[in-house]
Amino acid sequence: MSIFGRSFGESASDVRKSYASRIGDFLSHVERPSGSIFRRRANTLDDLFTWGWGVLGEKQKLEHQLALQAEAYQKAQEEIDRLKEARDVAESGFQHVSAELQQVSIDFQNALVENTRMAEHHTHEINELILEHSKSMHDTKTRLKTDHGREVERFNKEIDRLVGQLLVNQNDSQAWPDDKLKLKFRELQRLIESVTSPRNKQFLVPHNQQLGARLDPANFLSRVGRGKSHFLLKSTIWAIFQEQFFSAPFGFGALGPGKAQRELMDVYFTWRKIFDGPTGIASPGGESFAIFHQDKLANNWRSATFQCIIVALTSTDGRNPAPDTPLAKLSAKNVNQTISRIMGVLSEVSKLSNSMVGREIEDEIHQMANLSLEIALQFGVHSAQLRLSAPSRGEQIMIGEEFHDCEDGDSSKGSAYVVDLVIVPGLQKVGDGRSDMTSKRTIVPCEIYPE
């Protein structure tokens, strides 16, 4: 019987020697070639263990190196996979871009062909339009030349007619055309502006003074401040002119309120009886001027009568009044009353600052009064109805052709304002006194101070 290839009959020493020999042979076989084959071993078992530990250490080093190599290989493989994926993406992108580029090239070629076709088409259309335009321009020039010739002929005939009418009527009618009415009315505005201008310090209301209810009945300055006193002064002067020269319509207020108006209407009714008989017209009572809103014959009488009045009030040189006639005296009295009233207002205002009305201002007041008389007489001369327009305080108006803001003009055109104070009345023309009795035209707009 044997254990591990050894019989039980062998001694322990023999067994040890045998294993030592076998271990020695094994170690000689596995050791590095640099080891001496003649080297004696003191303890083969220890050498075996030493070799074993050495092998184990080498094995661990190899395993560690193998792990590092495996990790490096894994990373290299991942990088290869990433690069392959990037290459695939790049190839796909390149193919897509290549396809797009090819499509763009095709589209460009198609667009180039289409543009060439359209250019040829447009060139053809332009050539046709040029030919059509040339023909149209030629036809238009021919037509305009013909129309121009006709218009020139018509205007020449109209000029000849008007010149002939002017030669016939130049001494018969004292009526101003609308442009002259506007010019004269603006001149009156300019004179009033000059007198009431804030540069005339004597007419500024001091901070410690009040105008009182007579000059400022609506308490205007308490609402807007004394810095706006020139507007109130201007409005007051215009109100005086309206009372002295325009208190009745159709020019009947030109010689003053009251007696002169009644006497002129008495003359009209006396004259009218010649045509209608004593019962053919209304009595002078009631609205005496209503007849002039609708009766052509009445307006013809009015126009002729006021032309005679103008002649009677003017000397042969056309400048100086003739003071020796009752009519001239009546007119002069009204003018002087107007001047006196305006001087009274200005004197009262100037006294607030211990000043007085200068000679230059007084001369301008005389000019204003005489110009107001001239304008008022035109209200009678014109067969149409001329009138001053002035809305009431608190009335709503719309800025535009008929009404202006006294400070901003018509810059707020279309805006609705409530009137606080009428600064300058407007000048309007209604109808023509013949076939038209209703149509209204603004010659000069009314200027208001809004609330």
CA separation for the pair 395, 74 (Å, rounded): 99
Among 34-48, 124-138, 408-422, the least confident range? 34-48
Among 79-88, 291-300, 386-395, the least confident range? 291-300
Among 56-60, 170-174, 225-229, 287-291, the least confident range? 170-174
pLDDT of res. 371: 97
Higher pLDDT, 358 or 5: 358
Among 154-168, 359-373, 411-425, the least confident range? 154-168
pLDDT tens across 259-289, in order? Answer: 888 888 888 888 888 877 665 555 444 457 8
pLDDT of res. 249: 92
> Across residues 251-262, what is the average pLDDT?
88
pLDDT of res. 317: 52
Q: Residue 40: which pLDDT band, with cuts at 50, 70 and 90?
A: low
Q: What angle do CA 331, 336, 341 make, to 5 degrees?
A: 130
| pTM, two decimal places | 0.60
Q: What angle do CA 330, 297, 263 make, to 5 degrees?
A: 20
pLDDT tens across 187-218, in order? Answer: 999 999 999 999 988 888 888 778 888 889 99
pLDDT tens across 422-431, in order? Answer: 999 999 999 8
pLDDT tens across 50-72, in order? Answer: 878 888 888 899 889 989 998 99
Q: Residue 156: which pLDDT band, with cuts at 50, 70 and 90?
A: low
Query: In this structure, are residues 190 and 368 in contact, taking their beta carbons and an 8 Å threshold?
Result: no
Encoded tokens for 250: 């159709």
CA separation for the pair 212, 203 (Å, rounded): 15
Query: In this structure, are residues 415 and 398 in contact, taking their beta carbons and an 8 Å threshold?
Result: yes
DSSP letter, residue 165: H
Does residue 162 carry a pLDDT above 50?
no
> Across residues 134-160, what is the average pLDDT?
74
> Across residues 232-248, what is the average pLDDT?
95
Sign of the torsion formed by the C-alpha atoms of 74, 76, 79 and 84: negative
Mean pLDDT over the full length of the chain: 84
> Across residues 239-246, what is the average pLDDT?
96
How large is the C-alpha radius of gyration of the chain?
Answer: 60
Does residue 384 carry a pLDDT above 70?
yes
CA separation for the pair 69, 61 (Å, rounded): 12
pLDDT of res. 163: 43
pLDDT tens across 344-375, in order? Answer: 999 999 998 888 999 999 999 999 999 999 99
pLDDT of res. 167: 39
Q: What is the secondary structure of 307-373 as a DSSP string?
A: HHHHHHHS-TTSSS--TTSHHHHHHHHHHHHHHHHHHHHHHHHHHTTT----HHHHHHHHHHHHHHH
How far is residue 203 from each of residues 71, 189, 357, 425, measured CA to CA in Å? 109, 18, 9, 22
Query: In this structure, are residues 427 and 444 in contact, taking their beta carbons and an 8 Å threshold?
Result: yes
pLDDT of res. 321: 52
pLDDT tens across 81-124, in order? Answer: 999 988 889 888 888 888 888 898 898 889 889 988 988 988 88
pLDDT of res. 366: 97
Does residue 170 carry a pLDDT above 80?
no
